């Protein structure tokens, strides 16, 4: 007698983007570990912590892991302890992670990032405040010399040459990501880091070609996308993470602008928009609750041809399944829930009656 066929679950439908097949729609959101060495020859180099952390989520059946914000330059780190991808030692260490993920059938992705004016801060569990040179900090770079908040340093305003240099650093990071074995690159345009600072009129007060109008504020982001797409192979997908709104009543980036920008990103070769919100300005009110950012992803999906991933307080299998079944998103990203439970994908499959391959040595437990 054969077992009953597994129920269909949208969460466990594979998906091919360009030439990469992602085995399911349970994806891990990028989450900084702030656990690399801050200086010296191993600065920004992944170690055993990073390996074990990502290996566990792959063993748990996660379809795609988007590795934490990994800095394209030393000044682009959020904290001195961030992972980096600006040298070959870093690439070597990352290769160990990507090969394990691939062996487990999980697609390895990486978020490449520049922290802009929110750079040079301490680890979140140490308060996350700004750190100076005595604690391996530096002066941050930004579109305009406006501090993130009281107590944060005034950033150095980038010159046009400086802007071009950073677009080049993103491209070099993408080339290194390829060498390290990643199959998806995500450009970090969210949460008020450098790219988001250019997008938002709240942080971008430039009067040159990179500030003012929508076309000018999106120019840097599109230059980064073009620079990355030029070196990232045609057959591999490129994602962009955005904050769909700054949650500001005045002078913020808006959901309408996100929809307009999504169309441009699609035309420039981006394959999926990862839709988050916030992070640009402190002291804003955010209506946090289960799935609170999903409507922003759903709107982009409904109004453009660009696929989307939803993120933010998605914690329950039924909830995640509904988001996909309702056509609100093409995939879900889980952050903190995957920190609590690396086996979430297996648990969800069991709850939804779907079957996913288990690691053979664990066969007696599933």
Ligand X SMILES: Cc1cc2nc3c(=O)[nH]c(=O)nc-3n(C[C@H](O)[C@H](O)[C@H](O)COP(=O)(O)O)c2cc1C
Residue ranges in contact with ligand X by CB under 6 A:
29-32, 68-69, 111, 188, 190-191, 241, 276, 311-314, 334-337
Cβ proximity to ligand X, 332 vs 352, nearer residue? 332
Q: How far is the CB of 333 from ligand X (least distance, A)?
A: 7
Residue 353, classed as helix, strand or coil, is coil
Task: Specify whether 193 is catalytic.
Answer: yes
Q: How far is the CB of 207 from ligand X (least distance, A)?
A: 29
Residues 6+ apart with CB under 8 A from 350: none
Please name the residue that has the structure tokens 């059938």. Answer: 105
Cβ proximity to ligand X, 33 vs 204, nearer residue? 33
Q: How far is the CB of 159 from ligand X (least distance, A)?
A: 27
Cα–Cα separations (whole angstroms), residue 139 to 116, 122, 128, 175: 10, 14, 16, 27
The rounded distance, in Å, linking the Cα atoms of 150 and 220 is 26
| Residue nearest ligand X (C-beta atom) | 335
Residues 6+ apart with CB under 8 A from 79: 32, 34, 38, 120, 121, 122, 123, 128, 131
Cβ proximity to ligand X, 104 vs 191, nearer residue? 191
Cβ proximity to ligand X, 82 vs 223, nearer residue? 82
Cβ proximity to ligand X, 29 vs 236, nearer residue? 29
The rounded distance, in Å, linking the Cα atoms of 356 and 349 is 7
Q: How far is the CB of 38 from ligand X (least distance, A)?
A: 17
The rounded distance, in Å, linking the Cα atoms of 55 and 75 is 28
The rounded distance, in Å, linking the Cα atoms of 143 and 201 is 10
DSSP state at residue 35: -
Among residues 193, 292, 343, 362, the one annotated as catalytic is 193
Active-site residues: which are they?
A: 193
């Amino acid at each position: 007698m054969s077992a009953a066929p597994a129920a269909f679950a949208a969460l466990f439908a594979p998906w091919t983007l360009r030439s990469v097949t992602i085995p399911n729609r349970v994806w891990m959101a990028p989450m900084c570990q702030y656990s690399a060495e801050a200086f010296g020859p191993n600065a920004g180099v992944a170690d055993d912590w990073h390996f074990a952390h990502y290996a566990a989520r792959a063993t748990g059946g996660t379809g795609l892991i988007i590795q934490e914000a990994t800095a394209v330059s030393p000044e682009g780190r959020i904290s001195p302890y961030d992972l980096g991808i600006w040298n070959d030692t870093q690439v070597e260490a990352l290769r160990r992670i990507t090969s394990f993920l691939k062996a487990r059938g999980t697609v390895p992705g990486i978020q490449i990032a520049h922290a802009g004016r929110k750079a040079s801060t301490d680890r979140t569990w140490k308060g996350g405040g700004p750190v100076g040179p005595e604690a391996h900090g530096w002066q941050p770079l930004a579109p305009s010399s406006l501090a993130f908040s009281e107590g944060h340093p005034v950033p150095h305003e980038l010159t046009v040459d400086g802007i071009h240099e950073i677009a080049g650093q993103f491209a070099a990071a993408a080339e290194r990501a390829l060498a390290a074995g990643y199959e998806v690159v995500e450009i970090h345009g969210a949460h008020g880091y450098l790219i988001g600072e250019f997008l938002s009129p709240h942080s971008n007060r430039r009067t040159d070609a990179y500030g003012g109008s929508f076309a000018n504020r999106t120019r840097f982001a599109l230059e980064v996308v073009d620079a990355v797409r030029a070196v990232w192979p045609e057959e591999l997908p490129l994602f962009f993470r955005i904050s769909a709104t700054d949650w500001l009543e005045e002078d913020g980036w808006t959901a309408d602008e996100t929809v307009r920008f999504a169309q441009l990103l699609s035309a420039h070769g981006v394959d999926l928009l990862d839709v988050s919100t916030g992070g640009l300005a402190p002291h804003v009110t955010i209506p946090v609750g289960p799935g609170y950012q999903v409507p922003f992803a759903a709107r982009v999906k409904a109004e453009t041809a660009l696929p989307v991933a939803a993120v933010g307080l998605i914690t329950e299998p039924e909830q995640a399944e509904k988001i996909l079944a309702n056509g609100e998103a093409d995939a879900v990203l889980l952050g903190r829930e995957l920190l609590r439970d690396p086996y979430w994908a297996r648990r969800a499959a069991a709850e939804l009656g779907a079957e996913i391959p288990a690691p053979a040595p664990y066969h007696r437990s599933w």
